[in-house]
């Protein structure tokens, strides 16, 4: 009964209702579009971070504690083999690979630059966080080769086929050099990755560092949302083993991801709050006017036995009905706005990225939940004040009003 009555009350003043619905729908639509953009960005950031770090990494606890002695942070073949055995037991693990990272100077002619090297097994590449733009990828079985980032290649004017020299300290602290052939140039999402990173075969990295060890095992899972479950299981195993191994997830490793996601979430929160306030005040005014016009009617229904709580519920239901209808219309408005943005070809440059990317809005149905909740909540809260007034009216006063 209350729903039917609320719905009819909402529709009794078509012009006012149309205005209210327009405000709610516009707010909801904007929120849906902004939410879609943020979700698109966060998903992209997440995928990029996982491509860079893997879902999980296992290493000696001292690696992330930045111990002075590099030798102590490495995983010898026994510890690496044990970690691999545990990973083989996890059905969620789709692949894993050892890495050996190093810091060096890259030199070509008289030009030098800082270089962060990553030794990988070309035959077992679990991460694909780059795209080759010149030359080719590292080949299994080859040694003495290197693949560098595009900005680094441009800065040092390096092309595939050129030779570069790496100046490096071994794990024992001795000075070492290596002459490597550039086989490929890659592009990546982040500027720092293109300007300072390079891939070499794992055997080459081990030769340069004069070690047979690796420093981490990068793990890829079938699904992203398996990360926490697998991490929890492996952490228990690692702690029980007493081998001094530690595990980190992609979220713990990707500090840039966390910062950028926090920024986007803040923007989304601010937009949501703004729209909440806008809808709240607009609908408060509309519902208050509606209440003022219906005081005698409120007096009548109270006089014939309607209880205060029912009058309160009636006004709240009117608010929710407005919010729900407006919110649903707003989703269609948001779909239109999103489609407009997606087809506009407008691009933007995310912080730290190399080149402009298209501005896109994710238009998945799940993105509609939060905007509709905001619409309903704001109209519900707007309705509380007039609903309280209506339910607290003295019947005799309400009946006297004109």
Partner 1 sequence: MTIQATAGPVVEARDLVKHYKTGGETVEALRGVDFRVDSGDFVAIHGPSGSGKTTFLNMVGCIDKPTSGELLVYGQSTATMSEGKLATLRRDRIGLVFQVFNLIPVLSTYENIEYPLLLQGVPRRQRQERVRKLIEAVGLEKEHRRRPDKLSGGQRQRVALARALITETHLVLADEPTGNLDTETSKRILGIMQSLNENRDVAFVVVTHDPMVGGYAKRTLEICDGRLSRDDVAMPADRIRTEAS
Q: Which residues form the interface with partner 1 (CB under 8 A)?
A: 1, 5, 8-9, 12, 296-297, 299-308, 310, 394-396, 399
For 80, 142, 282, 350, the CA distances from 150, given in Å and listed in that order, are 32, 22, 53, 18
User: Do the beta carbons of residue 360 and residue 348 sit within 8 Å?
Assistant: no
Bridge-partner residues for 158, per DSSP? none
Choice between 179 and 392, CB closer to partner 1 = 392
b/e 255-279 (16+ beta carbons within 10 angstroms → b): ebbeebbeebeeebeebbeebbebb
Work out the end-to-end distance of the chain between its first and last CA atoms, rounded to an integer number of angstroms: 26
For 14, 38, 112, 340, the CA distances from 271, given in Å and listed in that order, are 29, 11, 47, 20
Instruction: Give the nearest distance from C-beta 1 to partner 1 in angstroms.
Output: 5
Choice between 179 and 308, CB closer to partner 1 = 308
Instruction: Give the nearest distance from C-beta 12 to partner 1 in angstroms.
Output: 5
> What is the bridge-based pairing of β-strands 245-249 and 197-201?
unpaired
Instruction: Give the nearest distance from C-beta 276 to partner 1 in angstroms.
Output: 29
Instruction: Give the nearest distance from C-beta 270 to partner 1 in angstroms.
Output: 39
| Closest of 238, 196, 187 to residue 85, by C-alpha | 238
Choice between 6 and 362, CB closer to partner 1 = 6
105 φψ region: left (φ > 0), alpha (ψ -120 to 50), beta (else): beta
Instruction: Give the nearest distance from C-beta 307 to partner 1 in angstroms.
Output: 5
Choice between 237 and 401, CB closer to partner 1 = 401
Choice between 246 and 318, CB closer to partner 1 = 318
Alpha helix (H) residue ranges in 199-307: 202-209, 227-241, 250-253, 255-293, 295-303
Choice between 6 and 83, CB closer to partner 1 = 6
Choice between 7 and 267, CB closer to partner 1 = 7
27/322 Cα distance (integer angstroms): 13
Q: Nearest 10 degrees: CA dihedral of 224, 228, 231, 237?
A: -140
Which residue, chain included where needed, has tokens 């619905």?
21
118/249 Cα distance (integer angstroms): 19
Instruction: Give the nearest distance from C-beta 313 to partner 1 in angstroms.
Output: 12
Neighbouring CB atoms inside 10 A of 126's CB total 19
Instruction: Give the nearest distance from C-beta 393 to partner 1 in angstroms.
Output: 11
Instruction: Give the nearest distance from C-beta 300 to partner 1 in angstroms.
Output: 4
């Amino acid at each position: 009964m209350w729903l039917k009555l609320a719905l009819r009350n909402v529709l009794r003043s078509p012009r006012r209702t149309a205005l209210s619905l327009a405000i709610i729908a516009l707010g909801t639509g904007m929120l849906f579009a902004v939410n879609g953009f943020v979700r698109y960005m966060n998903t992209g950031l997440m995928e990029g971070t996982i491509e860079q770090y893997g879902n999980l990494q296992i290493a000696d606890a001292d690696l992330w504690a930045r111990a002075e002695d590099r030798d102590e942070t490495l995983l010898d073949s026994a510890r690496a083999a044990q970690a691999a055995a545990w990973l083989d037991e996890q059905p969620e693990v789709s692949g894993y690979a050892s890495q050996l990272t190093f810091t060096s100077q890259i030199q070509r002619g008289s030009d030098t630059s800082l270089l962060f090297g990553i030794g990988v097994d070309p035959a077992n590449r679990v991460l694909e966080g780059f795209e080759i733009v010149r030359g080719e990828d590292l080949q299994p079985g080859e040694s003495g080769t290197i693949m560098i980032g595009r900005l680094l290649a441009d800065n040092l004017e390096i092309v595939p086929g050129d030779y570069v020299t790496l100046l490096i300290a071994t794990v024992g602290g001795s000075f070492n050099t290596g002459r490597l052939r550039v086989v490929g140039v890659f592009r990546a999402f982040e500027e720092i990755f293109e300007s300072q990173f390079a891939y070499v075969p794992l055997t080459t990295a081990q030769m340069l560092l004069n070690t047979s060890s690796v420093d981490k095992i990068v793990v890829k899972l079938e699904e992203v949302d398996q990360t926490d479950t697998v991490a929890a299981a492996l952490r228990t195993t690692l702690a029980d083993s007493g081998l001094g191994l530690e595990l980190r997830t992609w979220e713990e490793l990707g500090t840039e991801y966390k910062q950028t996601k926090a920024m986007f979430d803040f923007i989304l929160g601010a937009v949501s709050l703004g729209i909440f306030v806008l809808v709240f005040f607009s609908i408060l005014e509309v519902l208050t006017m509606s209440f003022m016009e219906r005081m005698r009617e409120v007096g009548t229904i109270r006089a014939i036995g309607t209880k205060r709580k029912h009058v309160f519920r009636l006004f709240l239901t009117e608010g929710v009905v407005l919010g729900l209808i407006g919110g649903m219309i707003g989703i269609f408005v948001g779909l239109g706005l999103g489609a407009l943005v997606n087809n506009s070809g407008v691009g933007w440059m995310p912080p730290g990225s190399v080149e402009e990317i298209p501005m896109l809005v994710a238009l998945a149905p799940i993105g509609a939940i939060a905007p509709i909740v905001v619409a309903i909540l704001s109209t519900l809260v707007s309705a509380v004040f007039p609903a309280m007034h209506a339910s607290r009216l003295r019947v005799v006063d309400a009946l006297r009003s004109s």
